[in-house]
Amino acid sequence: MAAPSNRPTSPHLQAYKLPLTGIISITHRITGVLLSGGLVFFVVIMSVIAEGLQSYDNMQVLTAFWPIKLIYWGFSYALVFHLCHGVRHFIWDAGKSFDRDTMDRYALIELCISLIITINMLLFL
Amino acid sequence: MDCRSPLAKVRGLGSAKSGTLHWWMQRVTAVALIPLSYWLITFLNLSFHAPYQYMVVWLIAPVNTVCIIAWVLAAFYHAALGLQVVIEDYIAAEGIKIIAVWTVNISFFMLVLAALVAVFRILLVG
């Protein structure tokens, strides 16, 4: 049952400045979709390893290029960010931290932690 | 207890009855993925730098095999559940919505099979 499309809609996104938690919320969704697409690369890498030494070495020639590494860093941050905001969803599921002060504070905390974890991850790369 | 009127029932209004499991499994897989992400990150980092033999030895260690397979099952399930929510939010037309959700589910099921077959091939050779 699709809603009738010729009816006026009330202004929302174009008339409303998203708070930090709102920006993070839509970023959580966007990173989720991107990470889902990125799962294909996992299957490709695993299949390449199954193919044997030759194709594995060929893959490493390709992944040594800096644009590939840049994309990998992007995916790494997207993963950690998505995980950190996921933890925040568990806090919300528990019925906590809905007041405005903790909203912004938790948002900053999760951004900082996700950045720290990603940098640590890439240092070991 | 069912508080809906007979007319509402006939029209198919009210809850879809299966949403709770979807929501719940999204959380269950999310919790599982918090520790399992360590194995994904280690695997990806190794695939960038480690020599072939090192990569295979790491993969066939039982703890790593189990955790990578567990990650595959949890992550692809989690992704399919999440994409279903996104599709349902942004696609209003019922037909396209159903086709999109089915396409996502079948694609991710096939990807899981492909990943598992690859892991088993590595186990057989290594």
Give the SS3 label for residue A20: helix
Q: How confident is the model at residue A2 (pLDDT cuts 50, 70, 90)?
A: low
Q: Note the pLDDT tens digit of each residue in B65-103.
A: 999 999 999 999 999 999 999 999 999 899 999 999 999
Of the candidates A82, A36, A46, the one whose C-alpha atom is nearest the C-alpha of residue B104 is A36
Q: Note the pLDDT tens digit of each residue in B55-68.
A: 999 999 999 999 99
Domain ranges, ordered by start, for chain A: 19-123
Residue in chain A nearest B114 by alpha carbon? A43
* A vs B: CB pairs below 8 A: 90
Q: Note the pLDDT tens digit of each residue in A93-105.
A: 999 888 887 888 8
Predicted confidence at residue B98, as pLDDT, reads: 94
Average pLDDT, chain A: 90
Predicted confidence at residue A98, as pLDDT, reads: 85
Domain ranges, ordered by start, for chain B: 18-125
Query: Per CATH, is B18-125 categorized as 2.40.160.60?
Result: no
Predicted confidence at residue A70, as pLDDT, reads: 93
Chain B touched by A1 (CB under 8 Å): yes
Q: Is the pLDDT of residue B4 over 90?
A: no
Instruction: Sort out which chain A residues have CB atoms less than 8 A from B114's CB and list them.
Output: 43, 47
Residue A50 near residue A57 (C-beta atoms within 8 A):
no
Q: Is the pLDDT of residue A79 over 60?
A: yes
Contact: B79, A36; criterion CB under 8 Å? yes
ipTM: 0.87
Q: Note the pLDDT tens digit of each residue in A13-55.
A: 777 788 888 899 999 999 999 999 999 999 999 999 999 999 9
pLDDT mean over A74-90: 95
3-state SS track over chain B: CCCCCHHHHHHCCCCCCCHHHHHHHHHHHHHHHHHHHHHHHHHHHHHHHCCHHHHHHHHHCHHHHHHHHHHHHHHHHHHHHHHHHHHHHHCCCHHHHHHHHHHHHHHHHHHHHHHHHHHHHHHHHC
Q: Note the pLDDT tens digit of each residue in B17-68.
A: 677 889 999 999 999 999 999 999 999 999 999 999 999 999 999 999 999 9
Instruction: Sort out which chain A residues have CB atoms less than 8 A from B125's CB and list them.
Output: 50, 52
Multiple choice CATH, A19-123, 3.40.190.150, 3.40.50.10800, 1.10.1330.10, 1.20.1300.10: 1.20.1300.10
Instruction: Sort out which chain B residues have CB atoms less than 8 A from A87's CB and list them.
Output: 34
Q: Is the pLDDT of residue A1 over 70?
A: no
The Cα of B111 is separated from the nearest Cα of chain A by a number of Å equal to 7
Chain B touched by A61 (CB under 8 Å): no
Contact: A39, B75; criterion CB under 8 Å? yes
